[in-house]
Structure 1
């Protein structure tokens, strides 16, 4: 009898969203390696946009063992951008490790992961913040839904991107069509609930959203725009990343279907802290 009641409670809660605590500070985590040509404009434009929109924030730029003047430029930027917190990744190095370092260092109760090369639109960060404040645990941007777009995306990379995202949609049976993009927003409790993070490289871009979905956090999608970098060199090497992406995808897929829900978020914890259970909404929601 007790087990039946517990199952019924889990079923009711899994199809609802629990009112989330009010957010007080947004952390924007930006991994950077050899980005001296663009890091100053990225940070300054972001700071201006967030200040104009009255978003309480900090900008955590993680220098991932840059060989150029990235770190020196960040140090000098602190005088002009008071919300900037540059940190150095002590190692190991890698895109995923740099993001993990930033997530460990952040002070906010929500985070947006953003690229250093100005490919992401600063105004979309504000839209993420506003959407999180509607109560969602995660907000995922899509460049390929109505209202979104890409500018100067290399054709081969675009084809591989669409193929990979179609594969993930089929594998996980989700509506999200831009899983591989790093530019996403999460409440801190989601980040904590997705630990430990395994991906040391660009495959963290799929580990975080897939874990969040599989573990039962609420999510929605908004259209975003993306522009190919205008300066510097792209760090993603597709040939080197293929097997790493596949490993993370299969790891989370095995968790989804074989872990019997052992890692799923326990909604009762939030409810016991004063949150109210309300119907889920949006394009994401929760997996059954």
Structure 2
């Protein structure tokens, strides 16, 4: 099963080389067929120069310049339209996600699930240097999502997840242009009847650069996606449900 990893990168010159190197080393060590797909999202620094140089040494690395509108969600959607693996993980460019955790996700998916979701907030999960205000908002948002859709899963807004190619196809059309895509993908998968496993994972705050997430700008966008998924769940009459053979 070929694994694709989609990584959006906007001004990540301080992190992108180490992120890709660690990821490639781990996947090669375990003989996992893979491709690393980096979307250079209108970077103004040396991100593209670094990526271009790395492609000569890492033959599984491919990068694209996002020639459409910028934004986290747009960059991921650009990558999801171009990966060629049997499954695809979304990971961050800033070393916050662990290659070791990705291996666990990949192994779990092969048990037959349609998706594997990470959780940083359950037994076995771990966060390092998580900003306090961001943590409070994160836990409040996820609690609202859980109660609204009657879920046990507690980390919907975390981007780090793994999906089968067929699952991504079944979640179309995608609506989000920004960080709310991290909520749209898992909620649609759950509402549309795709199976998923939950695996504890770790998260480390970035060492370089600044976070691109603007919390004040995202509240209404997250609410829009939650409302959309609620409407689909209760009023679509199963029109978007996964077909069962």
Aligned to 2:85: 108
Aligned to 2:94: 117
Counterpart check, 1:186 vs 2:186: no
Alpha-carbon distance in 2 for matches of 1:135, 1:262: 24
Alpha-carbon distance in 2 for matches of 1:149, 1:124: 11
Tell me the CA shift for residue 81 of structure 1.
1.2
- Secondary structure of the residue aligned to 1:195 is coil
Q: Is the 8 Å Cα contact of residues 111 and 186 (structure 1) preserved in structure 2? A: yes
Scaled by the length of structure 2, the TM-score of the pair is: 0.99
Alpha-carbon distance in 1 for matches of 2:68, 2:152: 35
Offset from partner CA, 1:34-64 (integer Å, 9 cap, x none)? 0001000000000000111111100000001
Runs of 4 or more, structure 1, over 3 Å off, are none
Alpha-carbon distance in 2 for matches of 1:181, 1:223: 12
- Secondary structure of the residue aligned to 1:185 is strand
- Secondary structure of the residue aligned to 1:267 is coil
Aligned to 1:30: 7
Aligned to 1:147: 124
Q: How does 1:2-13 map to 2 (within 5 A)?
A: none
Counterpart check, 1:39 vs 2:19: no
Offset from partner CA, 1:133-156 (integer Å, 9 cap, x none)? 111000000001100110000101
Aligned to 1:162: 139
- Secondary structure of the residue aligned to 2:81 is helix
Scaled by the length of structure 1, the TM-score of the pair is: 0.84
Listed as ranges, the gaps of 5+ residues in structure 1 are 1-23, 269-288
Aligned Cα root-mean-square deviation (Å): 0.6
- Secondary structure of the residue aligned to 2:118 is strand
Alpha-carbon distance in 2 for matches of 1:64, 1:37: 15
Q: Is the 8 Å Cα contact of residues 139 and 221 (structure 1) preserved in structure 2? A: yes
Instruction: Answer with 1 or 2: which has the greater Rg.
Output: 1
Alpha-carbon distance in 1 for matches of 2:230, 2:94: 31
Counterpart check, 1:93 vs 2:66: no
Aligned to 1:138: 115
Tell me the CA shift for residue 79 of structure 1.
1.3
Offset from partner CA, 1:252-281 (integer Å, 9 cap, x none)? 11000111111101112xxxxxxxxxxxxx
Aligned to 1:255: 232
Listed as ranges, the gaps of 5+ residues in structure 2 are none
Alpha-carbon distance in 2 for matches of 1:249, 1:74: 35
Alpha-carbon distance in 1 for matches of 2:233, 2:128: 35
Aligned to 2:222: 245
Aligned to 2:40: 63
Counterpart check, 1:264 vs 2:225: no
Tell me the CA shift for residue 93 of structure 1.
1.0
